[in-house]
Structure 1
Amino acid sequence: MQTGVPNGPVAEGAGAVGQFGVHGVQTQRDWPCLTQAEINAVLAHYPSVPTPVTPVWNSMRPFSAAVKIIDESSTGFLIKRHHTSLRSVAALHEEHAFMHHLAHAGVPVCLPLTTETGATAWGNDCWTYEVFPLAPGHDLYRDVMSWQPYQTAAHAYAAGQVLAKVHDAARQYT
């Protein structure tokens, strides 16, 4: 049993949700969805996100919990929570540094927001958090398991083009 698991109902508006498993969607989650109280506590450290916010969707991905929120002007953000046994604040900072490197090299990435101290991740108890603005466009694969094939050859081709840009940019990252 994991310690530090936030208690409380699923954030209102986001709906109860299972998670992806090997054989499709399973009803039980490894990590609970973020609660409204937890969302508010995280956002207290991210001054660029206007509050109040409303949760509108919970991710079904395993190994983390993520919630899409919108503010009163319908601007969207994503909060991701990881257990420290999977990703520490330091590990997230390194991932975010690589993302900044990719962005500087012209790769289209969505960069994390910063806390009041300028950090790109925040930790509390046994959890780490990161907050992102929503990327433009519609995520056609949001509710598709990662190991499923692309829906069209054009999608696979476009993903391959971006992956090539990532590999080219990564050569310069130490």
Structure 2
Amino acid sequence: MAHFRLLRSELKLVVQSLRLRVDGVVDKTAEPLKAVHSLGFRSRWGLVISIITISASLFISSCSTTSKQGFHESGRASWYGQKFHGRFTANGERFNMHELTAAHPSLAFGTLVQVKSMRTGKSVVVRINDRGPYVTKRIIDLSYAAAKALGMLNAGQDEVVLNQVAAR
């Protein structure tokens, strides 16, 4: 874990000190091992693997789903319940149809979202714990409890407005 605490500037200096050529031959006059060992790495390969790991984690974190402040979306919502009760959700927890949860295609897990029904005027706050919906033209799948609170059980789907309450 100590390898991940390196500052970008330190990594840049170490990489520059290695002076790797395109063909993979190292300039031995650059004394790259002093820089590598001073940062706690046993070999160049330890440093290279750490740089690749850090780069990959930075890339993944930049691509991951995020909850932007002031998120607002409107569209069609549906609900799911008994068929999925007890199954694992995308974030690894078991789906409980009696909790106020929802599935959204891109919001971060744990994000709290206020869902307001345009038909009934009722609203409920749900926690995003799953991915979906996988049906076109729908923006969110609500749990049975959330659908019941909005008064949309019989209709099956409803026009809603989503507003972010809090990020995880």
TM-score for both structures, normalised by structure 2: 0.22
TM-score for both structures, normalised by structure 1: 0.22
Q: Which has the higher contact order (CA 8 A, sep 6+)?
A: 2
| Bigger helix share | 2
